[in-house]
Amino acid sequence: MAKASYQDYVRLMHKIADVRNALALLGWDQETYMPPKGAAFRAQQSATLSGISHDLFVAPATGDLLHALLEDQSLDWEQRRNVTLTLEDYDRACCYNTSFVERKSMAVSNAHHAWVGAREANDFGLFRQALEEVVTLTREEATLLGYTGHPYDALLNLYEPGATTAELNVLFADIRRQLVGYVQELGQRTQVSNEFMYRHYPERRQWDFGIELLKEMQYDLEAGRQDISAHPFTTNFSMQDVRVTTRVNEQDLHSMIWGCIHEGGHALYEQGLLPQNYGLPAGEACSLGIHESQSRLWENMVGRSLPYWKRNYPRLQAVFPESLGTVSLDQFYKGINQVNPSLIRTEADELTYHFHIMIRFEIEKSLMDGSLEVRDLPEIWRQRYQEYLGLEVKNDFHGVLQDIHWCHGSIGYFPTYSLGSFYAVQFYNQALKDIPDLEQLTEQGNLLPLRAWLGEKIHRKGRLKTARELCTEITGEPLNAAHFMRYARNKFDAIYNKP
Amino acid sequence: MAKASYQDYVRLMHKIADVRNALALLGWDQETYMPPKGAAFRAQQSATLSGISHDLFVAPATGDLLHALLEDQSLDWEQRRNVTLTLEDYDRACCYNTSFVERKSMAVSNAHHAWVGAREANDFGLFRQALEEVVTLTREEATLLGYTGHPYDALLNLYEPGATTAELNVLFADIRRQLVGYVQELGQRTQVSNEFMYRHYPERRQWDFGIELLKEMQYDLEAGRQDISAHPFTTNFSMQDVRVTTRVNEQDLHSMIWGCIHEGGHALYEQGLLPQNYGLPAGEACSLGIHESQSRLWENMVGRSLPYWKRNYPRLQAVFPESLGTVSLDQFYKGINQVNPSLIRTEADELTYHFHIMIRFEIEKSLMDGSLEVRDLPEIWRQRYQEYLGLEVKNDFHGVLQDIHWCHGSIGYFPTYSLGSFYAVQFYNQALKDIPDLEQLTEQGNLLPLRAWLGEKIHRKGRLKTARELCTEITGEPLNAAHFMRYARNKFDAIYNKP
């Protein structure tokens, strides 16, 4: 009887996961193949499925089942942990009413549509009203969820359980102080050039090369696929159907190469979850920060490293001899690691990237506590980019319209990008200890041991440990951004020869 | 209060349509882009969504609402008709229990997977068990639905409301008698050649030409798209997202050209339904026979006509000069209308096509009344193809494995293909009367008047009229297959010169 009810729980979790995965497919299709006139009914369909999965989950019977299972002494540790985490999710989900969920889903679909149009027209004004609706609903969401400190805490916790605005204030202030000085220092040394990255790179050849990089990473194309979308993303409908998207710019080789590796890193995490945990917390990623640690580790620690390109650069040269034939490996390696303040977050280097995140973090906090309104976004954006990166923002397309996150209603999400970068260094340092010949293996194109190490230490564990527990278990200490700063100085002192 | 409850009805219908359309997207994706390992969880997801839409519909509250609305004197004719049809659907849906719906959805997904594998291996044995499961469930379905005559009637009515096995027995016997004689007669006249259709036609150019044909038909690519699948189909997620698929064979020009036109005809029907009727019977097609009349009308009456190719053949020649440069319009027109018994239904000519349908009709009847078992399918298939078409079936791939329908659980569907062909002639004859210069317009590439005529007479009416009512309203009489036989003799006597 008690055993049977854990099966009831699993069955319910499967049903809810099925609806959520169908919803994810509606989203994938919307951003890849949906014809434009399909948008209005698609918004409604997504809202309906959101409402249905919400209703299924918050039904009083769910709470009764979860509470009853916690009394069941026959559950093992993992079963109990699944139920406990689901109960936490349940209590949070019960903060929302169906009407709110459907209104937010609808607002988000509309905002996505408005954002695409506003980008095409390079006019924030066309996005403003739809974004105001999203921000209003997100403020309402923080209130529904409840918080003790800053209203932004309620949202942060959706993406990074346990994170607080106060802690992030301290972390970002510390990193900012160190990074500002270091980036200035690099600016005074001999500069490196990456002009070769902006030669002509034909689309089809880029695409094929990207697929090769994904295969080399051990991304399983029998359990996934890559398509084109305006903004690259990873999505999954099960552990056995994990899809990535990319974009190809014929005048800029960056976006395809590191887009593929970055999304590939996310995808390996999802493919590394265990199918028997489908629908359960054990079958979900730990946090967005940990998720991002996987994409950043592959993108930066592997994909912007010398051993990786010792192997792959000759292959890249062979694909694009007319553009890279005379560029040496040393020039290439230094060029792809150029540190240079720029306007677009997704094109930023490993260091100045975090200034982009800090700006968004500050704007989001202010939007949530009401000290900033949507209409003032372009102006504050300009001010902050001047102050943090020393750059003039000339238009909305290269400014406040660049990211898709706010139209998705994902306020509180951006900080996880920096957290992920910091976790990535800490995990990779540990991998270097655990796999002594790791860099040699990378140089040989054998990325399987790293993928297996990540799978064993992180992927297969799902959400059963918190980010803090996981990090401590793997590296012996919780997140410590000093690792990131040390890694940065080592790497970039070598690239920008210290005088 | 009464007004409000019609709105309740519309809201419920929207919600159910949203789930069904999400389910349709799961299906579209499965047959176009899903990676192979995604199949198992996809089957489960489809089963779950089937179950949810079923549960939403058959809830007792739905029945109460519908009965209450029928008492509401303020409803206009169309509102009342919508409610009446929904009540018929409801009563039929209540014949099914959730467990049955989920089991059938699961069996169908598994069978699809097995069918793909069996086709690859050219081995019916690999499909047999999965098909047996589907057939067993379909027999159970006939019992659940109930019937007074033949068990097959219960299934026929799912696709062609009002059709009976007894009527079809008479209709097909009559057509068979006339067609057998006429096809034999044609066989004794001077033959036409279509060997030029099997020259080399590069994929990309075929694809582009197919898109041009779809555009010429007025298929709206802003509200649809075309992709590749193993078996061409049309699906829709709203009137504003109606998708077609095709396949391209570089050694055979037929499948792309008439695949595009055929699916385009289906798609125009779905795009011609009115968005304000989303989710309601008024926003659904009348019957599968009427649906097929649209694809057949475009495919055969338009797409295999001389006026159509007077315009389009020079364009086709320009695309494939190396294969068609020396083939005259007259040779082309006669060649594409070659009558020649063949093994594959979808490649059959306009006349012998119906023998393929009769064989499936007889097999399905026997499977349903238990006089035939799945294991005997390859054998009966061979016997019938020998008897009706004079052909030897050499393997399963070109035999019993050729159609996707049974693995979809769609037993009772095939007869609507012949019904559609007969309706198509009757409708097209009427269009020729109502649009006196129709053939000239076709010759000018102006297909808009025909599309508008079909839209006004058929598409926008949805399911509000029965097939019989619709046919009588448009043509002055119910379905009369004599029109088809007369059309056939006129057309093919001209192509196969009468001695």
Q: Which of helix, strand or coil describes residue A242?
A: strand
Burial (0-12, 13-18, 19+ Cβ within 10 Å), B392: exposed
pLDDT tens figures, B184-219? 999 999 999 999 999 999 999 999 999 999 999 999
Kindly name the residue from B31, B160, B216, B263 that is annotated as catalytic.
Answer: B263
Chain B: residues touching A (Cβ < 8 Å): 14-15, 18-19, 21-23, 25-26, 29, 33-38, 40-42, 44-45, 48-49, 52, 220-225, 227, 237-238, 240-241, 243, 275, 278
Q: What is the mean pLDDT of residues A374-383?
A: 97
B243: left (phi over 0), alpha (psi -120 to 50) or beta: beta
pLDDT tens figures, B10-25? 999 999 999 999 999 9
**B11 to chain A: closest CA residue:** A48
> Would you say the pTM of this structure is higher than 0.90?
yes
Selected for mutation to probe chain B from A44, A215, A245 (highest B CB count within 10 Å) is A44
Q: Which of helix, strand or coil describes residue B128?
A: helix
Structure tokens at B47: 């089963």
* Phi, psi of B143, deg, nearest 5: -65, -45
Check B52 against A19: CB less than 8 A apart: yes
Selected for mutation to probe chain B from A16, A48, A54 (highest B CB count within 10 Å) is A48
pLDDT averaged over chain A?
95
Return the domain boundaries, chain A.
Answer: 2-94, 165-495
Check B41 against A241: CB less than 8 A apart: yes
Check A26 against B22: CB less than 8 A apart: yes
Q: Indicate whether B499 pLDDT > 80.
A: no
The Cα B244–Cα A398 span in angstroms is 37
State the pLDDT at residue B2.
44
**B16 to chain A: closest CA residue:** A48
Which alpha helices (H) appear in B188-278, and where do they start and end?
Answer: 203-216, 254-272
Q: Indicate whether B280 pLDDT > 80.
A: yes
Pairing mode, if any, of strands B241-246 and A241-246? unpaired
B474-to-A312, B163, B308 alpha-carbon distances in Å: 68, 19, 24
> Is B322 labeled as catalytic in the residue annotation?
no
Of all residues in chain B, the percent with pLDDT exceeding 70 is 99
The Cα B187–Cα B165 span in angstroms is 31
Selected for mutation to probe chain B from A14, A19, A32, A45 (highest B CB count within 10 Å) is A45
Q: Indicate whether A2 pLDDT > 50.
A: no
Check B38 against A278: CB less than 8 A apart: no
ipTM given for this complex: 0.92
Kindly name the residue from A216, A263, A350, A364 that is annotated as catalytic.
Answer: A263
DSSP, residue by residue, A276-317: GGTTSGGGS-S-HHHHHHHHHIIIIIITTSHHHHHHHHHHHH
| B25, B40, B223: residue with CB nearest A26 | B25
pLDDT averaged over chain B?
95
pLDDT tens figures, B325-358? 999 999 999 999 999 999 999 889 999 999 999 9
Per-residue exposure over B280-315, b if at least 16 CB sit within 10 Å of its own CB, e if not: bbbbbbbbbbbbbbbbbbbbbbbbbbbbbbbebbee
Check A36 against B220: CB less than 8 A apart: no
Distance to chain B for A194, nearest Cα, Å: 37
From chain B, the residues in CB contact with A23 under 8 A are: 22
**A56 to chain B: closest CA residue:** B52
Selected for mutation to probe chain A from B26, B29, B37, B229 (highest A CB count within 10 Å) is B37
The Cα A170–Cα A157 span in angstroms is 17
The Cα A86–Cα A89 span in angstroms is 5
| A33, A37, A45: residue with CB nearest B223 | A37
Check B29 against A25: CB less than 8 A apart: yes
Check A19 against B241: CB less than 8 A apart: no
State the pLDDT at residue B234.
98
| A21, A33, A48: residue with CB nearest B45 | A21
Distance to chain A for B237, nearest Cα, Å: 8
B353-358 long-range contacts (CB < 8 A, ≥24 apart) are B353/B417, B353/B418, B353/B421, B354/B172, B354/B175, B354/B176, B354/B179, B354/B418, B354/B421, B355/B176, B355/B179, B355/B388, B355/B389, B356/B389, B357/B172, B357/B414, B357/B415, B357/B417, B357/B418, B358/B172, B358/B176, B358/B388, B358/B418
Distance to chain A for B101, nearest Cα, Å: 15
Structure tokens at B153: 């009637």
Q: Which of helix, strand or coil describes residue B252?
A: strand
pLDDT tens figures, A67-115? 999 999 999 999 999 999 999 999 999 999 878 987 988 899 889 889 9
B178-to-A368, B173, B324, B492 alpha-carbon distances in Å: 77, 9, 35, 14
Tell me, which fold does domain A165-495 have in CATH? Neurolysin; domain 3 (1.10.1370)
Distance to chain A for B30, nearest Cα, Å: 11
Distance to chain A for B202, nearest Cα, Å: 19
Beta bridge partners of B228: B246
